[in-house]
Amino acid sequence: MLASSSGVVTNGTGVIETTNNWNSLMTSTLNSSISIPITLASEGPIYIWPRIADNDFGTFSYAIDGTVIGVFNTTPGDAIYTSNGIRNSLGFIRIPGVSAGTHTVSFTQTSSVGTMRIVAIGSLPTTNEMLPLVLVGDPPLQLVMPDAACDTTPSQCEDYLLQIQADVAIFAGDRLNVQFVDNHPYMHATDAEMNDYLHPNPLGHSELRTAFETAIP
């Protein structure tokens, strides 16, 4: 269900925002709310995609059929700010164990500053045959450099790798068609494979492609 879907109800300052083509339903005042109906074919999770942005400082609660499940901060714990100046992205909320049937997912802005921006909510399809295969790789290795976070002994990115594997296990447990791919045995980040300490050259990219192609059943 997208923010622009029929059946969406707003209370307060709800407007459709199209910045960066996200098409989110946005509120900007305390106690403004958004309600979206969704029908689950069987018991399972509900997924929510809100917008997040550096320095937004908004908060909102989210509820199923009037029962508040949690509170979400629209500012990420770590800044998004990139070398290209990007400061916003999609956030993600997963509510597990929702019973089959029609439910109302509601959001209420709990801050007098910042925004609440909801892009979509979703649930599992009726059959896994409708799902594409999603292959999720580990962070590629980097050349051994003083500031390289994932060199040939990638201790600094180990927590990131473990979190990726944990997320894949959660989504696979949800019956989503998600599979982890270890690309480290294929692309070793040698001088011959890298443009610089961070970016693989065409050979390195070819080896990364081989890792994913090999993983396809």
Please, what is the Cα angle at 28 between 25 and 33, to 5 degrees? 60
| 81-98 confidence digits (pLDDT tens) | 887 888 999 999 999 999
Place of tokens 């900007």: 28
CA distance 75 to 56: 6
The domain limits of the chain are 9-123, 128-215
Counting residues of the chain whose pLDDT is more than 90, the rounded percentage is 63
What is the reported pTM? Answer: 0.86
CATH ID of 9-123, from 2.40.50.100, 2.60.40.1510, 2.160.20.80, 2.60.120.260: 2.60.120.260
CA distance 124 to 4: 20
pLDDT at 160: 84
Distances (CA, A) of 108 to 13, 36, 62, 166, 169: 11, 12, 7, 30, 31
Strands 88-90 and 15-17, how do they pair?
A: unpaired
| 166-214 confidence digits (pLDDT tens) | 999 999 999 899 999 999 999 999 999 999 888 999 999 999 999 999 9
User: pLDDT averaged over the chain?
Assistant: 90
User: Tokens representing 111?
Assistant: 């801050």
Q: What is the number of other CB atoms lying within 10 angstroms of the CB of residue 8?
A: 18
> Does the pLDDT at position 146 exceed 70?
no
